[in-house]
Structure 1
Amino acid sequence: MRIVAEPLEAAAFAPFGEVLETSGPPDRIINQGLCGRFHDRAGLDFGDGRAGISLFKAEPRTLPLTLEMVERHPEGSQAFLPMSFDPFLVIAAPDEGGRPGRPRAFHTRPGQGVNLRRGTWHGVLTPLHAPGLFAVIDRIGEGPNLEEHWFEDPYLVLATA
């Protein structure tokens, strides 16, 4: 089973969350006219607990990539903001009765991040270049917030056509 990565575009990614980027004119000009603010671009959603910012450093991967597992976080959304201008791969799948449906893969452009909605099935953090450093905004709290699903037949994720 093959999945071809597609460019990350807001409309295509909308079922899974928001694309975080500075496209178009800023919503406001601040800081003495020297900074454009792109305001309130992601809906953070947490059951209990609180929002926290963590730093993740992940090993770069290469394509094609074997996708064996996806996960989701039922108690909170999860935003990934790369701390470099290197593209990365985002994999997300619709929920079909408590199990993931067919995954989709998205190849980001430099400067894009994503916010995955609460409960969205997604692949693990997949940088395509070093350093693989990301700021991650997600739920900090007690209790379980991770479900994993391992595919009987893995998918092969191919580079953008």
Structure 2
Amino acid sequence: MSRQIMIQPISAQNFAPFGDLIHTGGAPDKIINQGQCERFHDRAQLDFAEGRAGISLFNANPRALPYHLDMVERHPEGSQAFIPMTYQPFLVIVAEDHNGQPGRPQAFLTQPGQTVNYHRGTWHGVLTPLHGPGLFAVVDRIGAGDNLEEFWFDAPYEVVSG
């Protein structure tokens, strides 16, 4: 089995098994603020077992391609949305669950202005901006208990441009 993962363009359809692609595609749901603002309403399904939604800021170091993927993580108690605070694409790595372990990872590249919301329990790579600054607002579960599982691969994958 090849340990190389080709990056593919992200779309709402091909990302749906892992979460929500949040973007301004299609017609706005409403025009607000005296006709000066388009509202694209309720674009992600936040899902928390216990606790509450919180907004945190993450400032991640930019990464380069090829990217070596040796670990993925998941959050069994809540979904997690990553909202870039710059107009830059970022790398999204996800894997289906196979009996409590991640399957073969898939890599997607967002377009500037797109955001992702990982479903609760989705295996995903760490925050991977390809350009600096790597500043993101993150909406996720705030609450008691451990909400992080990590899985380290026996051999790393190499993520490359498609």
Q: Shorter-normalised TM-score: what interval?
A: over 0.9
Q: 1:75 aligns with which of 74, 77, 83?
A: 77
Partner of 1:124: 126
Inter-partner Cα distance in structure 1 for 2:6 and 2:120: 25
How far the C-alpha of 1:28 sits from its partner, in A, is: 0.6
- Please list every run of 5 or more consecutive structure 2 residues that lacks an aligned counterpart in the other structure: none
* Alpha-carbon distance, 1:153 to partner: 1.4
SS in 2 for 1:48: coil
Q: Which amino acid aligns with 1:69?
A: M
SS at the partner of 2:14?
helix
Q: How many residues are matched?
A: 160
Q: Of 19, 22, 26, which residue of structure 1 is paired with 2:21?
A: 19
Distance 1:144 1:80 in 2: 20
> Residues 118-152 of structure 1: CA distance to partner in whole angstroms, max 9, x if unpaired?
00000000000000000000000011000000000
Q: What is the Cα-based RMSD across aligned positions, in Å? A: 0.5
What amino acid maps onto 1:49 in structure 2? G
Identity, % of aligned positions: 67
TM-score calculated relative to the size of structure 2: 0.98
1:24 offset after TM fit, Å? 1.3
Map of 1:39 onto structure 2: 41
Query: Is there any run of 5+ residues in structure 1 with no aligned partner, and where?
Result: none
- Give me the whole-angstrom Cα distance separating, in 1, the residues matched to 2:35 and 2:56: 30
Q: TM-score, normalised by structure 1?
A: 0.98
